[in-house]
Amino acid sequence: MIHLILTALTVQHYPAALVTIDVGAIDQTPAHVITVSPAHARPVRSQADRDRIAWRAVRSWQGGSQSITSEDCPVLSVIAGSMDGLPPIPVSPPSLLVAPDPLPIPPTIKDGYSLSLSFRTMNSDGSTTDLTLKGGTVYYEWASNVVNQLASCWGRIE
């Protein structure tokens, strides 16, 4: 029983995924999910520790999966570090907003694939929040760039 409690604490202390990106089907590529996470769970106590993180990306689809590391695909480390450059997400429930005139038209996907990305963020009080974002945000553009940058590191989905 003590082992189970320690395991649960370890899992909570080291969240597994940095980001999970759901990619819709496009052309000959089926829908798939890309998860980027540290290759090994360990605490990060300094920038030097963070710079030494080895990253792993797993691409999963119906019928298979594929895994790469930042050693195989160095751009993976760049991708993970670039998430820091994204802006904070404001909390603006639509029911509380005063609508501008004219109403803004949300972005649409003209060509390409649909994306959603999910990640966990830590709040100032130490609690965490799980977020899933869809649509035309800076985060959507970042996720699209991640998919495109990793394309050269993956093989074809068969």
pLDDT of amino acid 33: 93
What tokens were used for 76?
């993976």
What tokens were used for 71?
């050693």
Give all strands (DSSP E) within 48-114, no chain letters. Answer: 55-61, 64-69
Measured CA to CA, the distance from residue 155 to residue 157 in angstroms comes to: 6
Reported pTM: 0.79
Q: How do residues 78-117 score in pLDDT, each as one tens digit?
A: 999 998 889 888 877 878 878 777 766 666 655 667 888 8
Q: How do residues 4-32 score in pLDDT, each as one tens digit?
A: 333 333 333 344 688 999 998 877 788 89
What tokens were used for 61?
């689809």
Measured CA to CA, the distance from residue 26 to residue 73 in angstroms comes to: 23
Helix (H) or strand (E) holding 68: strand 64-69
pLDDT of amino acid 4: 34
